Amino acid sequence: MPNASPVFDFEMAVKKHIEQLKLGADAWKTWRLSESANVGDFNKAILVREKFLNYELDKAFFHRANLRGTWFVGSHLNLATFTHSNIMRCDFYKADLGGADFSHANAERANFRHANLRGANLQRGIFKKCDFSKADLSQANLKWGDFREANFEEANLQGSFLNYSMLIKANLRNANISDSHIYGISTWEIDLENAIQKNLVITPHKETTITVEKLLNHEIEMHALLNFLSFARIVGILPVRKRICRLKLTRS
């Protein structure tokens, strides 16, 4: 009988990669090249409060990893995967995260100042109170994300997808949100002082594109309320419609 193929031990592979990672940035880079290991496998790894400064980690996998409080300052993490990971209070200052996948990650209070997040996927992630000041989020996917009280001051969000995201009390002073998609977002108490706003797409995907030149506080919530009232008229929810119609809507 032919010999059975050896079973690949993923846990041992992750352990080996962690051991090499902790030897330092230069040692990691040398080992990665010598082993022809094009990616780092850290799925489900526990790397809490570690410091990985200026590492080469492009295309690395951190799926469901616990990275709470870990530093990746200045590291290259293009196309890296952080899906469903715990990256609360992580420091990605000046990190290169182009095309990285943060979907469903918990990144509360993480630092992304000056980071490159161009084309990154932050869909359905938790980014409460994160610092994105002066970060590049152009063409990034922020759909359904939680960005309450996040700081986007002077950030580049041009062409980003903000559909259904929560930006309550977010700071977008001097940010560029031109050409972004804003259908369904929550914007209560958002700060848009001196923000660059042009060609904001307010229609859903695959519908005729309608753009506006300025996002006003409560504008999106008012639009959603009017849609609900139209629905109420169709299905005959008259008591609900009457109660809602008594609300006094103001625009700050």
Tokens in use for 239? Answer: 């008591």
The chain-wide mean pLDDT, for the chain, equals: 85
% of the chain surpassing 90 pLDDT: 69
pLDDT digits (tens, 9 = 90+) for 100-116: 999 999 999 999 999 99
In which band, very low, low, confident or very high, does the pLDDT at 252 lie, cut at 50, 70 and 90? very low
Tokens in use for 203? Answer: 């229609």
Domain ranges of the chain: 218-252
Global pTM?
A: 0.82
Question: What distance in Å separates the CA atoms of residue 117 and residue 130, rounded to the nearest whole number?
Answer: 14
> Are 103 and 123 contacting, i.e. CB atoms less than 8 angstroms apart?
yes
Which of 192, 190, 102 has its CA nearest to residue 144? 102
| Phi/psi at 142 (5° precision) | -110, 20
* Residue 38 Cα distances to 95, 151, 164, 206, angstroms: 19, 34, 36, 37
**Crossing angle of helices 25-34 and 10-21, rounded to 10°:** 140
pLDDT digits (tens, 9 = 90+) for 154-196: 999 999 999 999 999 999 999 999 999 999 999 999 999 999 9
